[in-house]
């Protein structure tokens, strides 16, 4: 194999595929990147057996071939090379990497021992704008569960029906739901994608209007972003019926400026969220204002926000982090905050459009 390509471009695709390199593994081959030179491009692949990432890069290819290179070593070598053309040559798994007056000779591994990425049938793809998927992931990913005893909640439920694409994440204490209208009303899917996979996809995607395609087959899903493809296993099992969790009736409703609400909770969290301690915030509803306060062994604070409160007065305690993480990704100027009771869940939703919804459970009194 003999190739040459731009150093910056090569470094970029290495950084992408490295997201699928396992932190720990009993299979040394998985610590490598498969590099295949064919036609007018090189293909880099990493695979941790749960998620695989494939990137293509245009290159000058004098001789085709393939080899597996240690990911950490490869990435570090390319990162420290001068910003110029990189030349690579492989023979009998011996690899020479050179750039200007710098040269490395390293050992590789046979490509035949590298796990093959599952081939999915490219039938009936779900086509969505890359920027939309990126934003949907960003607005729900923090609610993905981490409890290995409830593995289904470590994933994101992706649904498409009646022209609405929904991403749902639940961790047992809160719920995040993001919706987007799609053109194809006939698409009907419901899958659970590992949260780790979607988190990496969210980092890869650029906020551009180009379309990407999503393919599903049995227990696999592929996110085709053009020169980058991510294939992941799906989580098995039935996801929680999240619609049954959303309260139908509320005792009180507050329409509030999102920034004012977030700023007040963040101020209270200065005392509530210490390095080794966690204290609740207290939200108190009165006729034309709400109070956000906290009381801890090191001090207390109170914030008053003037706003219209529709419904009953009440007082309720919450984990401030659950509100902060949701409010930080809400882009609207105002948000509706709905309280079902002083012991029931709180709902935050969009004012005019049914585009997002967050549920936060209160702390016990």
Which residues have CB under 8 Å from 168's CB, separation 6+? 140, 156, 157, 159, 175, 176, 177, 239, 242
Q: Are 53 and 20 in contact (CB under 8 A)?
A: yes
- Which segments of the chain belong to CATH 3.70.10.10? 252-360
Sign of CA dihedral 15, 17, 22, 28: negative
Q: Which stretches within the chain are classed as H helix?
A: 7-17, 71-79, 130-138, 195-204, 258-272, 320-329
Domain 126-244 sits in CATH at: 3.10.150.10
Residue 360 to residue 319: CA distance in whole angstroms? 9
Per-residue pLDDT 10s for the chain (365 aa) are: 999 999 999 999 999 999 999 999 999 999 999 999 999 999 999 999 999 999 999 999 999 999 999 999 999 999 999 999 999 999 999 999 999 999 999 999 999 999 989 888 888 899 999 999 999 999 999 999 999 899 999 999 999 999 999 999 999 999 999 999 998 888 899 999 999 999 999 999 999 999 999 999 989 999 999 999 999 999 999 999 999 989 989 999 999 999 999 999 999 999 988 766 789 999 999 989 999 999 999 899 999 999 989 999 999 999 999 999 999 999 999 999 999 998 999 999 999 888 999 999 998 76
CA distance 166 to 157: 8
pTM for the model stands at 0.93
Which residue has tokens 């009998």? Answer: 92
For strand 94-99 and strand 102-107, is the pairing parallel, antiparallel, or unpaired? antiparallel
Protein fold of 252-360: Proliferating Cell Nuclear Antigen (3.70.10)
Question: How many CB atoms within 10 Å of residue 228?
Answer: 18
CA 25/CA 18 separation, integer angstroms: 14
CB 185 within 8 A of CB 106: no
Domain ranges in the chain with CATH number 3.10.150.10: 2-113, 126-244
- Interior/surface letters 78-107, b for 16+ CB within 10 angstroms, e for the rest: beebeeeebbbbbeeeebebbbeeeebeee
Structure tokens at 233: 């296993």
**Sign of the torsion formed by the C-alpha atoms of 261, 295, 147 and 52:** positive
Euclidean distance between CA atoms 314 and 290, whole angstroms:
10
Class of domain 2-113: alpha beta
Q: Is the dihedral of CA 325, 331, 334, 340 positive or negative?
A: negative
Which of 242, 243, 249 is closest to 339 using CA atoms?
249
In the three-class reduction of DSSP (H, G, I as helix; E, B as strand; rest coil), residue 240 is classed as coil
């Amino acid at each position: 194999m003999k190739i040459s390509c731009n150093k910056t471009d090569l470094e970029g695709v290495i950084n992408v595929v490295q997201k699928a390199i396992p932190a720990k593994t009993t299979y040394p081959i998985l610590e490598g990147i498969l590099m295949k030179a064919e036609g007018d491009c090189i293909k880099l692949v990493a695979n941790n057996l749960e998620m695989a990432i494939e990137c293509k890069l245009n290159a000058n290819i004098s001789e085709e071939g393939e080899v597996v290179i240690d990911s950490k070593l490869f990435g570090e070598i390319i990162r420290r090379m001068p910003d110029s053309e990189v030349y690579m040559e492989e023979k009998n798994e011996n690899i020479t990497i050179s750039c200007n007056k710098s040269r490395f000779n390293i050992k590789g591994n046979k490509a035949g021992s590298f796990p093959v990425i599952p081939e999915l049938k490219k039938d009936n793809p779900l086509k969505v704008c890359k920027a939309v998927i990126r934003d949907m992931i960003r607005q729900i990913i923090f609610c993905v569960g981490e409890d290995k005893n409830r593995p289904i909640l470590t994933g994101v439920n992706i649904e498409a029906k009646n022209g609405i694409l929904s991403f749902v994440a639940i961790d047992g204490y809160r719920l995040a739901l993001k919706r987007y209208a799609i053109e194809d009303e006939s698409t009907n899917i419901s899958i659970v994608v590992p949260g780790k996979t979607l988190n990496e996809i969210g980092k890869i995607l650029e906020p551009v209007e180009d379309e990407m395609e999503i393919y599903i087959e049995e227990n696999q899903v592929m996110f085709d972003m053009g020169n980058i493809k991510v294939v992941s296993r799906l989580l098995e099992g039935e996801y929680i019926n999240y619609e049954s969790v959303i309260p139908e009736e509320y005792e009180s409703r507050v329409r509030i400026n999102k920034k004012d609400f977030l700023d007040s909770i963040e101020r209270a969290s200065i005392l509530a969220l210490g390095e080794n301690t966690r204290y609740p915030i207290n939200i108190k509803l009165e006729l034309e204002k709400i109070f956000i306060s906290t009381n801890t062994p090191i001090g207390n604070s109170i914030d008053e926000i003037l706003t219209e409160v529709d419904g009953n007065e009440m007082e309720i305690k919450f984990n401030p982090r659950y509100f902060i993480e949701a409010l930080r990704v809400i882009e609207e100027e105002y948000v509706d905050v709905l309280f079902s009771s002083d012991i029931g869940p709180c709902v935050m939703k969009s004012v005019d459009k049914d585009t997002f919804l967050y549920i936060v459970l209160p702390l016990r009194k």
